[in-house]
Each structure stands twice: as structure tokens, then as C-alpha cells.
Amino acid sequence: MAGLRALAGGLGRRRPGTRLLATDTLRVRQQFEPPPPEALQWFPGHMRDGWHQMEAKLRAVDAVIEVHDARVPLSGRNARIAQALAARPRPADQADAGLRGVARALAALIAGQERAARADAREFNCMVVGVPNVGKSSLINALRSVHLRRAAATPVGTRAGVTRSVLTRIKVSARPLIYVRDTPGVLEPRLEGAEAGLRLALCAAMQDHLVGPRLLADYLLYWMNRRANHAYVPYMARPDVREAALHMVRGFRSGAFGQLLLDDDVLEDRAPPPAG
Ligand SMILES: Nc1nc2c(ncn2[C@@H]2O[C@H](COP(=O)(O)OP(=O)(O)O)[C@@H](O)[C@H]2O)c(=O)[nH]1
Ligand SMILES: [Mg+2]
């Protein structure tokens, strides 16, 4: 419970002496104090360059595959990408389409494509875009492995910022002949609101050191509490409580609480009756 109270009160917000709260009377924050905007601004040089490279290549591609993280389907939308693609036909969203679904959608799109300008072109060129760390490179590698049974051609990473420039074309299918360009993830230079930024940061769309684990955990805690989702309690509280318990026992053994007579009550019962 001590762990729960510390968590429910928000990291670093616990006041000493506050009463333990039972889960059913848990009072949680109704608002999250936003971090300073600069904590969530991330548009480093490689993104700026990547964006210009992408814009330049956009005109030369037959299709754009926009990859989204299902945990942030809205916070992960990049208005700049949407604007740049506004003039192009957009196929319906392929939510949860799976790899074969994506490949099918791509093939259908390609089959129906007006290619008046380059009707003689033999191959199709696509570009994969999306915010950082959303699975763009993984998708390309998976398409390549499903269609060509070839090894990975573009590096995948758990951190944002692994793909740093618009890479050369990667072949992902032979019939029809399809090439895909990987791109660096781009975040908007100015994010829409702190919560969108924190949600993206939780999904590792920014490098963790920028926002910091404390703010990330605090926001996640706020988010879960607001939804009465306490799944973090067994996950978090158990090791915390054990650690706290060990600390307390060690403190007792080392005399940190003074000389405590554990048997004081038993001794009192046995005390001889007062004389007289
Ligand atoms: N859970 C889950 N993780 C994925 C998926 N696709 C990629 N990942 C992981 O997300 C991380 C980033 O993938 P990557 O392809 O490098 O993303 P990119 O930055 O958009 O190119 C890696 O740790 C991948 O293993 C997916 O569909 N589901
Ligand atoms: Mg990548």
C-alpha cells in the first residue's frame, strides 16, 4: 500500500504524513500539469534534412505508406506529412491490416494507379513515412522477407532516430517490381499540445533522455489513474514494498529506531502485582 500511495500521489508529489489510501477511495489528479514546451520539442538537424529529402522525393514516388502506432493513432499524425500528401489520392486506412494486408493494399493501389507521366516505367516506387520509432524499417524488412525471402535491408532500433536519411531504394517485391524508400521519422517542429507530446514520448518517438523517465512515468500514472486502471500496482508496488520492507527491517536491526523492546506487552502481563 505504501507503494500504491506513493504512486497514486504522483512521483515526487507525496507529502509526508498523508494517510494511506485504499484503492476504492483513491483520489487521483484530474489534470496534469504540463511540462515546459521545450521539454517536448524535438526537431534535430537530421529531421530537418530528412524532411527536405522526403519532400524532394515525394514527386517521384507512386505511393506513400504512412505507418502509425496503434497506441497513438491521433497524436502520431504529422500535419506536415498530411499537408504534403493532400493533393494525392489516399487509399482507405489499413488499420490492423497485417503485413499481407499492407502488401495487398499496395498492389491494389498500384494496379489502379494513373501513371500517365511515366506509363512506360517498369517498376513502382513507394516511400514509407511516419513519426520516429513507429515500425517503418520493420515493415520494409518484413515486406522484403515475405515477398522475396531476403534478409533485412534497413536497420531497426528500439530508440528513435536510427534511420537518419532517406535511404536508397529497397526492393520488396519482384512481381510486380516494387521498390520502397525508408525515411527518418519526422515529428512536427511544434507539437500539438503537451499531452500529444507526452504520449508520443511514451511510445519512444523521442529519445528518452529529452523528456526523462520521471516525467514519462508520472504522466503514465496520471493517465492510468484517470481511467481507473491500476494494473501498475501489482507490477510496481510489489518490488517497491519488498524493498521498503527490507529497508525497514535493516533499520530495526541496526538500531536506527532506538532500542525497541519487542516483548514489552508480554513483560507487562507478567509483571508482579504492585506491592501493598
Ligand atoms: N509491438 C510492436 N513493435 C514493433 C512493431 N514494428 C516494429 N516494432 C518495434 O519498434 C521498434 C522500432 O522499429 P523500427 O522499424 O526501427 O521503427 P522506425 O524508426 O519507424 O523505422 C523496434 O524495437 C521494433 O522491433 C510492431 O508492429 N509491433
Ligand atoms: Mg527506421
Read off the pTM: 0.69
Q: Report the 10 Å Cβ neighbour count for 271.
A: 8
Domain ranges of the chain: 2-30+231-266, 40-181
For the stretch 201-222, pLDDT in tens is 888 888 777 888 778 888 888 8
Return the sign of the alpha-carbon dihedral for residues 121, 142, 134, 44.
Answer: negative
Largest CA distance in the chain: 119
For the stretch 161-212, pLDDT in tens is 666 556 678 888 887 788 888 888 887 766 677 888 888 888 888 877 788 8
Cis peptide before 89 (omega within 30 of 0): no
- Burial class of residue 129 (count of CB atoms within 10 Å of its CB; 0-12, 13-18, 19+): buried
Say how far apart CA 214 and CA 206 lie, in whole Å.
15
Which residue out of 156, 163, 203, 207 has the highest number of ligand 1 atoms within 8 Å of its CB and is therefore the one to mutate?
156
Element (H or E) spanning 265, and its range?
helix 264-270
Which atom, in ligand 1's list, is nearest to the CA of 158? 23
Question: Which residues lie below 8 Å from residue 164, measured CB to CB, with a gap of 6+?
Answer: 46, 50, 184
Cell digits of residue 153: 535491408
Going from the Cα of 25 to the center of ligand 1, the distance in angstroms, rounded, reads: 39
Q: Is the pLDDT of residue 91 over 50?
A: yes
Residues 215, 34 contacting (CB under 8 angstroms): no
Going by alpha carbons, the residue nearest to atom 14 of ligand 1 is: 135
Q: How confident is the model at residue 157 (pLDDT cuts 50, 70, 90)?
A: low
Return the sign of the alpha-carbon dihedral for residues 86, 91, 97, 101.
Answer: negative
Residues 91, 109 contacting (CB under 8 angstroms): yes
- Burial class of residue 5 (count of CB atoms within 10 Å of its CB; 0-12, 13-18, 19+): middle
Residues 41, 196 contacting (CB under 8 angstroms): no
Going by alpha carbons, the residue nearest to atom 7 of ligand 1 is: 135
Around 2, how many Cα atoms within 13 Å sit in the side-chain half-sphere?
10
Q: What is the pLDDT of residue 183?
A: 86
List alpha helices for the chain, DSSP H.
2-8, 45-58, 79-84, 98-111, 136-148, 194-202, 208-211, 213-226, 232, 238-253, 264-270
Query: Average pLDDT, whole number, for the chain?
Result: 72
Say how far apart CA 191 and CA 188 lie, in whole Å.
6
* Better-predicted residue by pLDDT, 41 or 181: 181
Task: Give the type of residue at 199.
Answer: R
Q: How confident is the model at residue 99 (pLDDT cuts 50, 70, 90)?
A: low
Residues 167, 181 contacting (CB under 8 angstroms): yes
Q: How confident is the model at residue 259 (pLDDT cuts 50, 70, 90)?
A: confident
Q: What is the pLDDT of residue 18?
A: 37
Say how far apart CA 273 and CA 48 lie, in whole Å.
87
For the stretch 65-82, pLDDT in tens is 888 888 888 887 777 777
Nearest bound ligand to the CA of residue 157: 1
Q: What is the pLDDT of residue 81?
A: 74
Q: Is the pLDDT of residue 5 over 50?
A: no
Binding-site entries for GTP: 133-138, 185
Please compute the mean of the pLDDT values over residues 150-161 and round it to a whole number: 68
Ligand 1 site residues (CB inside 6 A) read: 130, 132-138, 156-158, 162-163, 185
Please compute the mean of the pLDDT values over residues 126-140 and round it to a whole number: 87
Question: Which residues lie below 8 Å from residue 35, measured CB to CB, with a gap of 6+?
Answer: 194, 198, 211, 215
- Homologous superfamily (CATH) of 40-181 is P-loop containing nucleotide triphosphate hydrolases (3.40.50.300)
- Judged by average pLDDT, the poorest of 55-59, 127-131, 163-167, 266-270 is 163-167
Going from the Cα of 49 to the center of ligand 1, the distance in angstroms, rounded, reads: 22
Which residue out of 54, 65, 138, 159 has the highest number of ligand 1 atoms within 8 Å of its CB and is therefore the one to mutate?
138
Cell digits of residue 31: 489534470
